[in-house]
Amino acid sequence: MTLKDAQKQVDDWVKQFKIEYFAPLEQMVCLSEEVGELARELNHRFGPKKKKKAEDTKEVADELADIIFDVCCIANKHGIDLDEAFKRNMDKFYGRDKERYEKKSALIHKIIAVVINNNKFLMVRKAGKDIWTSLGGKIEAGETEEQCLLREIKEELNCNAVIIKKLGDFEEEAVFDDATVRLSAYLADLQGIPQISDSELEEFRFIDKTYKEQGIKFPSAIEKQVIPSCIKEGLLKW
């Protein structure tokens, strides 16, 4: 529903009655009352003044909807298109205020395979990089996470796989990008003999718990979150 749709619904309802829209100051009083109701509810929930036992709990969503109704009434009374007004306002924020606040890091979402064999963890290394990373990649349009993972395994190691279960979602700072990476990790078994079929990869290896002594580096999310999760689930005995 657009703001214009909301304005139309409000207008259809109001025009059923002999007295249609209130005078501007009367309508402003209505809006102020609704904002007060929202403030009261938020204060009860998050402020020092708690509700009495006999008082009903109100939904914040309902209070916000009441405010939107009164805003639509004011806009309709004065012939204002809220869609156009809101667009102008957002253009202002994206223009004038685009550098005003510190921005969050970009989010990179990768689907990764956790493949374990003889208490060893499968990792791959990109060409020219000294940090080993996980098997998998980013979702393409229309894919599920599982479909993405099976495609990535085929593209990177030229073999099929069986997905056993999802282990979870893990977030850390990305290794190769100025961003936060979210890893959606799936336990999987490879089907066939893996061999590198992606020009970006230089090698793959099943790595054991002595990887640090071997000088092998893992991304933070793998080392601090994914591997401990596998140990906790009994998938690795490290």
185's CB contacts (< 8 A; 6+ apart) are 112, 113, 114, 134, 166, 167, 168, 169, 170, 226, 229
Which phi and psi angles does 137 have, rounded to 5°?
Answer: -175, -160
Dist. CA 199–CA 24, nearest whole Å = 68
pLDDT single digits (tens) 39-48? 999 998 888 8
Strand segments, DSSP code E, in 59-105 are none
- Show the domains of the chain with their CATH numbers: 3-95 (1.10.287.1080), 106-232 (3.90.79.10)
Q: Which long-range contacts (CB under 8 A, 24 or more apart) does 92-95 make?
A: none
Please give the single-letter amino acid code of residue 218: F
Residue with the bigger pLDDT between 51 and 39: it is 39
Average pLDDT value for residue range 28-53: 90
Task: Give the predicted TM-score (pTM) of the model.
Answer: 0.58
Dist. CA 143–CA 223, nearest whole Å = 28
pLDDT single digits (tens) 149-201? 999 999 999 999 999 999 999 988 776 666 888 999 999 999 999 999 999 99
